[in-house]
Structure 1
């Protein structure tokens, strides 16, 4: 069959019959339109141009390199957009004022816990250091730990520690502490008060009445009643006792609890606290402390 002659527009590479841009090369100078099957015969130089055009259409488009300045601009734009978005989120949120940070209280100065009336005593079992611990910090504190370190000249022999038996100390309050002495011969010792902790417990309103110091068979006991004068239940009411000799020195201590573990508002209970004597001196006066915390 004689091929239908047509021409190819070499500028737009389209068939002059149907306008299709799809061709199949049949021979060096012969091309067929894939749409209308029209055959086109071209000269040698035209065939070479068409071959280049067809090869160019079949190759993938080359990637245009992106300049570094363009990349930088894109990154800066993305970061700026993120910052603006976050700012908008925070600013468009709740209209409540920002939360204020709770100020941190400075540590309590241990030097304001005073140790007085320090002396060495011989109990039935061993030697002890006894002293009064007085709270002059201006704040309510937990009973602090007192450490005694013993030396033989420049040689450290060891340490012992203890705390007052009371739970806490209000400003101006005091309580005794007893620390065991080393069995080794020592020439000196030092005392150190641990950094006090602010007491968090709330004191219940309890009060003692009909308090008496009685002596039976050479032993002293402090007896009396405790009443809860507050509006909340008072638990674990503690009674601490200090006995003094005629010279004002501490010669006996005692620590105990009220008979009832929990006291409802207005309730009354008894207490009976045995005291331990530090020497055989006669008791000239006594003091006591009643504590209940929640």
Structure 2
């Protein structure tokens, strides 16, 4: 196709033939319309203006710069991605040489705390449940919490927690416990042992000697000496007493402490454990337990 000759509108810089503003430079001051392909020669000042327009059209557009808010959002996104990557790498990395916490010990089975010789007793106008708590867990435990719930038929009356003189129980040890009985008449009760906690105190080697059960004015007391056979001072040396009747049932309990605390290694101190009678009757035998923890 032979290019047509035309002119350029020097005011609007558009093709006078078709009105297009798209031009291609062919030579000095010579341009071709990009729409109708008409060719024209222009004066120098018009050529300069066309050159500026053509340079602006050919220059690639600059991308818009993000504002401060957009920059902050980008920074947060990048930081989150880095944090996730670091976490994943740490989880998957070799942790040798990093100290690990020891695993938590398994919970102690409360059913291994046995309640035996449970019965209701009455002394000095007060009714109580009395029982023996035996530790068959195989581990040293704090004295467990025992709760008695009382009922009258299907009606729930009240719940009471037990009281025990001993602080802890070694495997195989046993100690007395009493639970108050409500004033209302009840038809049954349920005993619930809470999951026992491990006792972490250090046991001191404290033993009793010259032990005697004495009776003054109708009251029983267990007296004697405590000796620290260990290499360290012993704190809070305690003696728990159990009194039994002729039928072998528990009829009295007592609790006392060594006079000296702390008790130096090799040292002796006296103890005096006063007993409370839980039922009427003569004492046929007694038992006691010495506890001392650092």
What TM-score comes out, normalization by structure 2 length? 0.73
Change (3 A) 1:168 1:95: closer
Change (3 A) 1:96 1:234: same
Equivalent residue pairs, number: 237
Q: Kindly report which structure 2 residues correspond to 1:194-213, keeping only aligned pairs within 5 A, or say none.
A: 194-213=194-213
**Quick one: distance in 2 between partners of 1:58 and 1:278?**
109
Q: Say what the alpha-carbon RMSD is for the aligned residues.
A: 3.0
Residues 206-229 of structure 1 deviation map (CA, whole Å, 9 limit, x = unaligned): 111111111122221111111111
Other structure's SS at 1:114 match: strand
What TM-score comes out, normalization by structure 1 length? 0.73
The match for 1:167 is 167
The runs of at least 4 consecutive aligned structure 1 residues that moved more than 3 Å come to 43-46, 54-61, 93-96
Structure 1 window deviating more from structure 2 (156-165 vs 233-242): it is 156-165
The match for 1:62 is 61
Residues 81-113 of structure 1 deviation map (CA, whole Å, 9 limit, x = unaligned): 959x959x97xx999623334122111111111
Other structure's SS at 1:111 match: helix
Other structure's SS at 2:224 match: strand
Q: Kindly report which structure 2 residues correspond to 1:94-243, keeping only aligned pairs within 5 A, or say none.
A: 97-243=97-243
The match for 1:49 is 47
Change (3 A) 1:256 1:82: same
1:248 aligns with 2:248: yes
Change (3 A) 1:57 1:98: same
In structure 2, the gaps of 5 or more residues are 1-40, 65-77
Other structure's SS at 1:246 match: coil
Other structure's SS at 2:45 match: helix
Q: Determine if contact 2:123/2:280 at 8 Å carries over to the other structure.
A: no
Residues 46-102 of structure 1 deviation map (CA, whole Å, 9 limit, x = unaligned): 32221132456689962158xxxxxxxxxxxx89x959x959x97xx9996233341
